[in-house]
Amino acid sequence: MSNRRYGTALSAVASLVFALLYAPLFAVAVYSFNRAEKGSVWAGFSLRWYLQIVADPEVSRRAFEVREAALNTLLLGAASTLIATILGTLLAIGIQRTPWSKRAARLLDAAIDLPVVTPDIVFATALLVAFNVLRYVSPWFNPGLPAMIIGHVTLQIAFVALIVRSRLVLIGATLSEAARDLYATSAYHFRRVTLPLLWPAIVAGGTLAFTLSLNDFVISFFTCGPGSVTLPIYVYHSQMRGLRTDLFAVSTLFVLGTIGLVLTAEQLTRWRRD
């Protein structure tokens, strides 16, 4: 096969993959402008569902529910991401820069990889069992936003640690050893050497952790309380009553917000690298 035909075939495959990835999202975005209350039939173009979302919560009950769910989602994502990014970064540094024995290193690798490969339903069930015991120790483990934050953090730490650790492996230990040879203190070494080198990985890990929190349903569903419903849970319960068009608008805004977050994180990483 010539190089031209090979390139054409690759372009066709890439186009098919992108179509499979983004066609459903595009369809949801298009039907969010549907005038009909049910999204299965097109009844004409309308902005009524977007206007309903931004309506006065005292007038529109749906607007109040959507805003409350969005606020819970953002609070959950921000709090869990901040905690998971700090702990995941420290965990990655501790594993990579500590001279562990081979057996201990293998055990640590397995402990980090396990939450990544464990199905969400199994992970959420394990958290539910653990929280049922731990709630007698602290009220933070009762169903609600604190328990949801803890549950998300336990999942996010592994992803942050894997990304930051891969960056540590890439940069090696040469610069750290040089800084130590020049009598850099531990605080100065971390602030002026380690942290700038790890910044792209920390941003990438934090972005991934925040995205996982925004999109999570299973862990949130198992640990939520009456006043801590997130957008994924709200959409799920609403769809049980039918395919409502206003949920298409909510989902579209949700996807646009996620895309904006990813682009912002990428720009921050690029700016820091330059």
| Mean pLDDT, range 225-252, rounded to an integer | 81
pLDDT, tens digit (0-9, with 9 covering 90-100), for 31-81 = 888 888 776 678 888 888 888 777 666 556 777 777 888 889 989 999 999
pLDDT, tens digit (0-9, with 9 covering 90-100), for 140-159 = 889 899 999 999 999 999 99
What is the pLDDT at residue 58?
58
What is the pLDDT at residue 110?
86
Domains of the chain, each with CATH number or no CATH: 66-273 (1.10.3720.10)
Average pLDDT, the chain: 83
- The C-alpha atoms of residue 256 and residue 205 are separated, in whole angstroms, by 20
Confidence of residue 6 (pLDDT cuts 50, 70, 90): low
- The C-alpha atoms of residue 133 and residue 112 are separated, in whole angstroms, by 24
Crossing angle of the two packed helices 61-97 and 145-171, in degrees rounded to 10? 40
- Residue 258, burial from CB neighbour count under 10 angstroms (0-12, 13-18, 19+): middle
Q: Tell whether the model's pLDDT for residue 274 goes beyond 60.
A: no
| H or E stretch covering 95 | helix 61-97
